[in-house]
Structure 1
Amino acid sequence: MRMITTLGAIAALTAAFTAHADNAERHLLLLNSGSLQTQGMALVLGNAIAERGHRVDVLLCDSAGDLALKDAAPAALEPLKASPVQLLGKLQQGGATVSVCALYLPNSPHDSNDLREGITVATPPAIAERMTAADTRVHIF
């Protein structure tokens, strides 16, 4: 009997957590990969989430930070005929904020003047607040 009660409690908690996670209206994409296909898929998914009425924001870290640069020009992906930079721009046009992680610029030959319009440098406290907000789902690529 005790095993059934414990299993029931676990099932109820799992259902409550899943329902909460499915109701998240804010999504934070942490994009770290330099892989063109990974960048593209992350941003395709981000745009699909935004089209469902959710807010999507992007934090670019490591080699993915290069997407934030004015001179970024990765190749277009098939079958989309769009590059990750174009997909990122579409997210921005839809209201997404895009930032580079606080470590990106100090560890690259670039400075804030090299960033495309509308892209800022994130602060760890602001990102930590977003990551831990009850209404935010975090997706890491």
Structure 2
Amino acid sequence: MKGEYKHSIDAKGRLAMPAKLREELGDRFTITKGRDGCLYAYPEREWEVFEQKLKALGGSEKARRTQRYYMAKAIDVELDAQGRVLIRADLREFAGLRKDVIVVGMMDRAEIWDSERWNAYYDDCDESELDDVDF
């Protein structure tokens, strides 16, 4: 998955998923709290991989906190006939989702951002910080 897509959430909390990402996410996928103030949306196969990684963390306090962070609010969603998903109110509140939303393809998942939060985050990225990442 890749790309940045502008969409909106309706008054009932439904988000029309970008057509280009629907194919990769599938009709059913999992949404959970993400990092940096966004939500993560995982296709079923990638969610299973993610769950296995969480299980492999073990039973330390840090591992349990991490597992609870992602698992407690995770919801399985299904696209309706119009390609929309209902995002639960507590998840919308966590991510500050109002009307305008940006959906970002992030390889194995999509991220769902409030438009203003995304713009502030992305505009704050300093290209020189990327020099520290070795790949």
TM-score (norm 2): 0.26
Q: Which entry has the higher C-alpha Rg, 1 or 2?
A: 1
Write 1 or 2 for the structure with the bigger share of strand. Answer: 2
Higher relative contact order (CA 8 A, sep 6+): 2
Write 1 or 2 for the structure with the bigger share of helix. Answer: 1
